[in-house]
Amino acid sequence: MHIAIEPSILYFGTPVVLLSTENEDGTFNLAPLSSAWALGHTVVLGLGSDGQSAHNLTRRPDLVINLPSPDLWPAVERLAPLTGRHPVPPTKAAGCRYEPDKFGAAGLHPEPSDTVRPPRVAECPLQLEARAAQVRPDATGTFLVVEAQVRKVHADPALTVPGTDHINPAAWTPLIYNFRHYFGLGPELGHSYRTQTPATVVSGCS
């Protein structure tokens, strides 16, 4: 049996992204996003059309897609009520306030990128330097859909399979935003036949 429901949001579980972009004055904005997915080397982002990130990407296409680990959720939540827009747009949620120094407010640290101007977030174990190839409104006009071409990937060595360019799925746990609650991943259940990384070795008594 199923019941028909009308949820106010459909964040049914996606990785959190910290998006760094360049402001008009050459400083940098940092914003949490809850809508991101990858297709090949393209990452598709969904963001509010009135935010500073949207404002920046329609004018300056460079960005960094920083993927935080679960232990960084308090820093992500410190960013949640902040905006780089001044004055604060009326579409922002109640309690949202202007903050020009997002890195400082979150307790995070910028580090230089190699191929784009916005900095990476030093604390994030995965960082994708990218450039927005297409920025367009969604069907409702409320959000922007950004197709970003990844130019360079930085990974914490502890997350990689030694001697390869593969991320070890047993070592990497993204921070998941699930119906406005933060989660990590549970234990591995299995793997796809298309995987190029070795299966997780589980030791125990038989």
Give tens-digit pLDDT for 40-77. 999 999 999 999 999 999 999 999 999 999 999 999 99
Confidence of residue 203 (pLDDT cuts 50, 70, 90): very low
What pLDDT sits at residue 204?
39
In this prediction, residue 206 carries a pLDDT of: 37
- What predicted TM-score, i.e. pTM, was given to this entire model? 0.90
Q: What is the 3-state secondary structure (H, E, C) of the chain?
A: CCCCCCCCCCCEEEECEEEEEECCCCCEEEEEECCEEEECCEEEEEEECCCHHHHHHCCCCEEEEEECCHHHHHHHHHHCCEECCCCCCCCCCCCCEECCCHHHHHCCCEECCCCCCCCEECCCCEEEEEEEEEEEECCCCCEEEEEEEEEEEEECHHHECCCCCCECCCCCCCCEEECCEEECCCCCCCCCCCCCCCCCCCCCCC
- Give the tens place of pLDDT for each residue, 103-130: 999 999 999 999 999 999 999 999 999 9
Q: What is the largest CA-CA distance in the chain?
A: 63
Residue 150 clears pLDDT 50, i.e. is over it: yes
CB 9 within 8 A of CB 34: no
Q: What is the mean pLDDT of the chain?
A: 90
pLDDT band at 179 (very low <50, low <70, confident <90, very high): confident
Contact between 196 and 169 (Cβ < 8 Å)? no
